[in-house]
Amino acid sequence: MSDRTDPLDVVRAAQGRSGGASRPRTDWSASRGRLFLVLIAPSVLLLALLNAYPVAYAALQSVRNGTLITAGEFVGLANFAKVLQSPDFWHAVRFTAIFTISGVAGSWLIGMALALALQARIHFGGVFKVLLLLPWVVPIVVSSMAWNWLVATPDSPMPALARFLGFGTPLFLADPVLAAVTVCVFKIWCSFPFMMLMMSAALSAIDRSVYEASSLDGASARQQLFYITLPLTRRTTYISWILMTIFCINDFPTIYLLTAGGPIDATTSLIVLAYRLVFQNFQTGPGVAVALMMTAAMVVVSMVLFRQIRKSGATA
């Protein structure tokens, strides 16, 4: 045992406390715990107000029959039952799935293709990158107006072009099927620059010597794509899919500004349905129930994709 003086005893002696009889360790730990509580309280309160409060409030609204002003009475899971029995809900689920799958797949395919193309050394590559980013950068209000001008009336440029090419006069926003296609294409157009950025970053992290070695071994461009590029970028791919899935499911303005969910509900997604229920029909409970089910779906999709990320990390 050392006979050296404990530095804490020196401090305690200087404060006039007895160095011989030190306080029990549990007291010291408890006071530190209280200090910790005081220090984190502002952050906890802020987090609770910003995150937990809206979710808790929404959860309470989903089991009540209130309006935007009144809290209403407790109705249990009746709002969820009503929503699940509604054909409008399942119609919205179907369109949300189509919108999300096409949005994620379409934007990733185009984004990946452009990212690969931009790997090549070309003149004015920076200019191309900036131009390709424009759909992502331009406010959705502006781009939706531009698309409306392009396709809304029979005399708009796109229907006029189709007529010129002998395809008749397609009603891009008035025909339910074409409107759904148009909204999905609009979403892909808005989103591919994000995917392009993500995949460009992933591609630039791949060591060029891997490609050189595979070339020496006689690998074709197709083999390099499927056996080198895609496996080495899959973590980024999964992350971008998670993010784009959340973007698509939560995307209100892209749909609402172009079609408002019409014609005849052809482009009504879950988020548009929730908005209509709450703010047009003033049925807060069912509207919030839709939103909560959307959240649950997003959590499930994200967990599946996160599992894929972990797997890819383990095998990388």
Partner 1 sequence: MSNTITGLSRRGFMKLAGASAAGAATGSLLGMPAIAQDGPIKFWDMPWGGTTYNNAMKGLVEGYSGSLGAEYQVIQWANFQQVFASALASNTGPAASTGGAFQAFQFAEQGQVLYADAIIEMLRESGKIDDFLPGTVEALTTPEGIVGIPWNLDVRPIWVRQSLLDQAGVAAPTTWAEWLEVGRALKEIDVYAFGTGAGPNNNFGYHSMMALMINNGGGLFNESAEPDALFERNVEAMEFVREMAVDGMIDPASISYSTDNLDQMWRTGKCALGYHTPGLDEVLGETDGDLQVMSPPAGPHGDYGSAYYVNNIMMYANNPSVEATEEFLFWYVNNLEHAWVEGNAPTLPALRSVAQTDVFQSRTQAVKVIEEWQPICKPMAARAQASFPALASIDAGQAVTRFTQTMLQGRTEARAALERLQADLEDLM
Q: Give the interface with partner 1 as residue ranges (CB under 8 A).
A: 29-30, 32-34, 36-37, 44-45, 47-49, 52-53, 55-57, 60, 64, 67-71, 148, 152-155, 171, 173-174, 179, 256-265, 276, 279-283
Nearest distance, CB of residue 40 and partner 1, angstroms = 8
Q: Return the number of the residue (210 or 264) whose C-beta is nearest partner 1.
A: 264
Nearest distance, CB of residue 165 and partner 1, angstroms = 19
Nearest distance, CB of residue 4 and partner 1, angstroms = 28
Q: Return the number of the residue (30 or 130) whose C-beta is nearest partner 1.
A: 30
Q: Return the number of the residue (66 or 111) whose C-beta is nearest partner 1.
A: 66
Nearest distance, CB of residue 53 and partner 1, angstroms = 5
Q: Return the number of the residue (46 or 127) whose C-beta is nearest partner 1.
A: 46
Q: Whole-angstrom distance between the N-terminal and C-terminal Cα of the chain?
A: 51
Report the alpha-carbon distance of residue 288 to residue 80 in Å, rounded.
9
Nearest distance, CB of residue 213 and partner 1, angstroms = 44
Residue partners of 206: CB distance under 8 A and separation at least 6:
228, 229, 232, 233
Q: Return the number of the residue (13 or 46) whose C-beta is nearest partner 1.
A: 46
Nearest distance, CB of residue 106 and partner 1, angstroms = 22
Assess contact for 285 and 79: CB atoms under 8 A.
yes
Q: Return the number of the residue (113 or 150) whose C-beta is nearest partner 1.
A: 150
Q: Return the number of the residue (187 or 276) whose C-beta is nearest partner 1.
A: 276
CA angle at 158 for the pair 153 and 164, rounded to the nearest 5°: 105
Report the alpha-carbon distance of residue 167 to residue 163 in Å, rounded.
5
Which residue type, as a one-letter code, is found at position 83? V
Task: Find tokens 């935007």 and name the residue.
Answer: 68
Nearest distance, CB of residue 30 and partner 1, angstroms = 5
